Every structure is written in structure tokens, then in C-alpha cells.
Amino acid sequence: MNLKELYQEIILDHGKNPRNLGKFDNFNKDAKGHNPLCGDKVHLFLKLDENKKVNDISFEGEGCAISMASASIMTDLMKGKSEKDAKEIIEKFLDMIKEKDNIDTKLLEEDEKTKLMSLGGVKNYPMRVKCATLSWHALSSALEDFQKEVTTE
Amino acid sequence: MKIENIKKEFPIFNNKVQNNDLVYLDSANSSQKPLVVVDRIYDFYTKEFSNVGRSVHYLAVAATNLYENTRSAVQKYINAKHKNEIVFTKGATEAINLVANTFGQKYLKEGDEILLTELEHHSNYVPWHYLRKNKGIKINFAEIDEHGDISFEDIEKQITNRTKMIAITHLSNVTGAILPIKEITELAHSKGIPVLVDGCQSAPHMKMDMQDLDCDFYAISCHKMYGPTGLGVLYAKKKWLDDLPPYQGGGGMINEVKKDDISFGELPNKFEAGTMATAQVIAFNESINFLNKIGVENLVKHENDLLNYGEELLRKNNSVKLIGNPRKKGAVLSFTIDGIHPHDIATILDEDGVAIRAGHHCCQILHDKLGLTASARASLGVYNSKDDLDKLNESINNCKKIFNK
């Protein structure tokens, strides 16, 4: 998929109508991400229940279409996942966006994988890879309870 | 050399980029290279190569002469008084670092002030910041007006009796503002303050006359002037180069080296330690030749026409906002589009073969002041045409369509 097609697809799907945008009240974990080069910012909110499952997840942020769409897609598919599974999905997504041709996990449905693969269009653009991975790094940091803001630099 | 046919002097335009004809609008970042410059590098390495200034064999002497010929060509092009006022560096960044470091070492102490502007590229801020850290100097910024411009008065009111250097851009790489350097220098000198000018954006696009400007230091980036990368020029008045201590130590810049003392070489060797970017210097002579063949008056007219044409196109384009409307403007068109991040703009334009820059263009202070995290920038070079600007506008329209703007 060339980048223009990628844009057309993700803008239509997530740009106009981002999922899970805005803070919710009873979150118990959160983390911020910042890409100083392009100014993209994301603040991620997370509620893990007593079984360490993602009960709710949302984000606030501003940035380019790729970083916003990536956060939108990510928060959508993380709902209901266990902490352990979430970490595996993050790892597999980051593998895919940096080098691999597929997302090697049984934890996602095929249509979810397809959506994530569409973001793989940025693979050859290291500057844009940072946009696509910003919210994923923030989620990883929230799960690890890091206090420090993550940055892609 | 006719400017209308100039594109064919640049081999990069013979090839498709991602199946598109290249519309190159990123010359403020770095310019493309004419074939004569590329050929010169090849010829030097294949037929004439030797290190310069050291050995006495035939090739070494010939290479030294070629190297020094470029120094003379630069002197002439920028109308410097002496050949030895031209120092080659690895870039304009190094040229500014050289001045900040040596001038700072010799003349600056705690509480002294340096005056910059909010328009400065990071390369004319960060080197001074080191002195703030190490020596406790203070850095003041002349503020931009609502047009992204800096006037003579804006500079005048920031000068204090502790100002020890004014370091300012000649032409902003974001707003395109051209600063009144000659007037500012006159004022500064009347108060005994030297002036350093960041000439990266002006040297490729304006007539250069050091004796007329009368500034003390002028930094030039050769790769923005249709020349090779890895090369810059520091112009400095001879009295400063005689007076300031060497910047880097090494071979080529010494006179006598003993176990208990070292004496330094004469100008210009004093500031050119180690083996220099020899091939680049020699090839840069061809860039100067190339510019001379076009004629700087023709170049200025061509780029002014394009700038006016481009400004009008973008002004008419709804939702495109131009950044900066200075009194005198150079060949940059910085803009934003409501609701579309500049990186998205640049990526979509790239798919159409239109190469622009997006980001803060190494001017974070300026972008903070403008309330922006980033902007998109189309910048012009001698090879651009109205066609290129039409394609830019068309591609912006594509981009708006994708984002439903």
C-alpha cells in the first residue's frame, strides 16, 4: 500500500472519527508520550481491573494523522485484553512496524491485524515510524508504571 | 547561460523519483548540484588528487593551487578585501562555532551579553548557549513583529552597554525576512560591538558584498549554494582572524612545534587544522563559476518572480496560511493548512514528487513564538519554475481533498 492509500484509508476510518478520544474518570494508570521533532503529544489513560484486564482505555492528544489514527486503532483493540496479552501485542506491533512483514500473534483477529498492517506503510520512513509508535510506547510505559514521559527521541 | 534552461544542468532532474518528475522545493535545506560540480569532484579524485599545503611533489603543488584558487574565487564573489579573510570550515555551523568559541574564550566574561533574534537557526543559538553555560554570559533575543520580521529598531532597543556581540541571520529560513544588516552593523560599530551574520540563506540568493555590509563575521553554507556538502566558509575581517586564538589544533595550522611551546601558522592556515575537505573546496570553485555565469542579478530577478507567483497562488488557496509577511522577503514559502499536520502535508506531497520540508526547520524558538509546533516550507532555487509552483498548489489541493478540507 502506498502512503496515499494509507492516508485515504486511515483518515476516512479514524481521522474523522477517532475512537476513545478524551479522558475518563476512574483510570488507574496513565502515561504521556511526546515526539519533540514534530510536536506530537499523546496522553494515555488506562483502567486495569482486579484481574489485570484492560477495562477501559482512552487517549488525549494532538499530532499528525498517523499518530492519532494509530492511537485510535490501538485503544480500540486493547479493550478486554489482559496486561500480559497487551504487552505481547505491543511487542509484535513494534516488530512489524520496524522490520517484520506480519504481526506474529494469535491474540488478534485477522481484521485487527489488517488495520495495524496498514500503518506498516510508514516502515520505510523512520521519521514517520515515530509517529505511528508514539501511543504504543506510552501504553507500554503506563503498563510498566513508569513515571517519566516517554519520548521517541 | 539562460536561466529558463538551467534545469538541464542538474542531472538529478533526469531521473524519476518514485515514478514522478521531481519538483524540488527544499533548497533552503540543501540545493541540488549542477553536473559541473559533480564532474569536478570526479576529475579531481581520478586525475589530480593529492593532499594540499604539505608535500612538494607535482600533484601536491597543483592541488594546493586549485584549493587556493577557490579561496580567491570566494573572495571575489563576496567582495572581501583580502583573500585570507576566507576560512574554509566543515559548514556554516562550524564557522559560527569557531567564532563563538574563540571570541568567547578571549573576550567574554560573566554578565556579558550576546544579542540574537527570534529568527535564528539553532546553529546561531546553540554555540552561544555553550558560553551561557560555561561563562555565564546572557543571551538576549530581538523579538519578531507580527509580520515575522525584525527591523532596525527592534535590534536597536535590545542593545545594552553589556552587549558584546550581535549575531543575526541575514535571511530567515522560515519567514524569509531579509534583515537590514548594513544599517545594523553601522549602529553596532558606533557602539563598538562586532556583528556576526548567518548568511546561509542569503548567500545563494542575494548579491554578496562584505565590504559594503562591513560586518565582522559572515557564515556561509556551500551545499546550499549548489556546492558540495561538508563545506562552509567563514568570512572574517583580517583584524579578527589575526587577533583571535586558533579554534582547533593539529597539522597544517602550526609554525613551530617544540616540547615546551608551539607557535601557530599564518592566515589562513591558522584556522584550517588537519586535512581539509579538499575535493569539496576545489569543486566549490565550479559552483561559484556556475553562479557567475547565471549572473546574480538574473538569479535575484528569477527567484523574486517565482516568490511573487507562489505567494499569490498560495494566498488564493483557501485554508493555506502563509507564515511571515516581511518588508523584504527571500525565496521561502512557509505555510500551514488548518487541520492538517505539516508532516502529513509533506508526506502526501512527496507521493506526488513534490519535495518540501516539514517541521520546525531548526527554529524552535520562532515556532514557539508563532504558536506552532511545526510548519511546511517550500523553498526555491535557481532551477525552479512556475510549473513547479503550480504542481505544489495542485498537490496541496490533493492533500486537502484527502483530509476533506
Phi, psi of B342 (to 5 degrees): -55, -35
* Buried/exposed B255-290: b ≥16 CB within 10 Å, e otherwise: eeeeeeeeebbebbbbbbbeebbbbbbbbbbbbbbb
Predicted pLDDT of residue A1:
57
Residue A39 confidence class, pLDDT cut points 50, 70, 90: confident
Give B-chain residues touching A37 at CB under 8 angstroms: 359
Mark whether B25 and B103 lie in a shared domain.
no
Phi, psi of B161 (to 5 degrees): -80, 0
Residue A153 has pLDDT above 70, yes or no: no
Cα–Cα distance between B121 and B117 in angstroms, integer? 10
Strand segments, DSSP code E, in B170-278 are: 195-198, 217-221, 232-236, 254-257, 262-264
Mark whether B285 and B320 lie in a shared domain.
no
Mark whether B307 and B379 lie in a shared domain.
yes
Nearest CB to B403 within list A2, A11, A37: A11
Nearest CA in chain B to A66: B344
- Neighbour count for residue B186 (Cβ, 10 Å): 14
Q: Say if CB A70 and CB A88 are below 8 A apart.
A: no
- Neighbour count for residue B82 (Cβ, 10 Å): 12
| B374 interfacial to chain A (CB closer than 8 Å) | yes
Give the N- to C-terminal CA distance of chain B in Å, as an integer.
43
Give A-chain residues touching B351 at CB under 8 angstroms: 2-4
Which DSSP category does B135 fall into? H
- Report the amino acid identity of residue A113: K
Å between B92 CA and nearest CA of chain A: 22
Mark whether B239 and B109 lie in a shared domain.
yes
End-of-domain residue from the set B237, B265, B292 = B292
B215 as an active site residue: the answer is: no
Mutate to test the interface with A, among B17, B341, B356, B396 (most CBs of A within 10 A): B341
Is the CB of B359 less than 8 angstroms away from the CB of A3? no
List residues bridging with A48 in a β-sheet. Answer: A54
Q: Say if CB B150 and CB B119 are below 8 A apart.
A: yes
Mark whether B109 and B7 lie in a shared domain.
no
Cα–Cα distance between B297 and B25 in angstroms, integer? 21
Å between A105 CA and nearest CA of chain B: 30
Predicted pLDDT of residue A100:
87
Which of the pair, A12 or B400, is modelled with greater confidence?
A: B400
Residue A16 confidence class, pLDDT cut points 50, 70, 90: low
| A16 interfacial to chain B (CB closer than 8 Å) | yes
Which DSSP category does B171 fall into? B
Mark whether B274 and B302 lie in a shared domain.
no
Mark whether B166 and B24 lie in a shared domain.
no
| A94 interfacial to chain B (CB closer than 8 Å) | no
Predicted pLDDT of residue A147:
52
Give A-chain residues touching B348 at CB under 8 angstroms: 3-4, 7
Q: Could you state, in order of their start, the residue ranges of all structural domains in chain A? A: 3-151
Mean pLDDT per segment of 10 residues, for chain B of length 405 residues? 90 93 97 98 97 91 96 98 98 98 97 98 96 96 96 95 98 97 98 98 98 98 98 98 94 89 90 95 98 96 97 94 96 94 92 93 91 94 97 95 82
Domain count, chain B: 2
Residue B30, class by beta-carbon neighbours within 10 Å (0-12 exposed, 13-18 middle, 19+ buried)?
A: middle
Cα–Cα distance between B314 and A97 in angstroms, integer? 35
Q: In what order do the strands lie in the sheet with B375-379?
A: B320-322, B332-337, B375-379, B357-359
Mark whether B107 and B180 lie in a shared domain.
yes
End-of-domain residue from the set B292, B323, B355 = B292
Mark whether B214 and B305 lie in a shared domain.
no
The CATH T-level fold of domain A3-151 is Sufe protein. Chain: A (3.90.1010)
Q: Say if CB B333 and CB B173 are below 8 A apart.
A: no
Phi, psi of B37 (to 5 degrees): -75, -45
End-of-domain residue from the set B245, B268, B292 = B292
- Residue B8: domain span: 3-30+295-402
Å between A115 CA and nearest CA of chain B: 19
Angle, helices B92-107/B126-135, rounded to nearest 10 degrees: 20
Predicted pLDDT of residue A11:
62
The domain that contains B89 carries what CATH number?
3.40.640.10
CB pairs under 8 A between A and B: 45
Which DSSP category does B403 fall into? T
What is the grid cell recorded at A42? Answer: 499523546
The alpha-carbon radius of gyration of chain A (Å, integer) is: 14
User: Tens digit of pLDDT for each residue in A78-111?
Assistant: 999 999 999 999 999 999 998 888 898 999 998 8
Nearest to B44 by CA among B304, B339, B286, B341: B286
Is the CB of A38 less than 8 angstroms away from the CB of B343? yes
B351: left (phi over 0), alpha (psi -120 to 50) or beta: alpha
Which DSSP category does B359 fall into? E
Mark whether B42 and B102 lie in a shared domain.
yes
Predicted pLDDT of residue A86:
96
Predicted pLDDT of residue B44:
98
Predicted pLDDT of residue B299:
96
Cα–Cα distance between B391 and B397 in angstroms, integer? 10
Mark whether B13 and B48 lie in a shared domain.
no
Nearest CB to B402 within list A11, A37, A131: A11
Predicted pLDDT of residue A12:
62
Mark whether B262 and B145 lie in a shared domain.
yes
Residue A152 confidence class, pLDDT cut points 50, 70, 90: low
Predicted pLDDT of residue A15:
66
Is the CB of B351 less than 8 angstroms away from the CB of A2? yes
Cα–Cα distance between B341 and B242 in angstroms, integer? 49
| DSSP H or E run through B396 | helix B386-402
What is the grid cell recorded at B70? Answer: 577557490
Å between B359 CA and nearest CA of chain A: 6
Nearest CB to A3 within list B342, B347, B360: B347
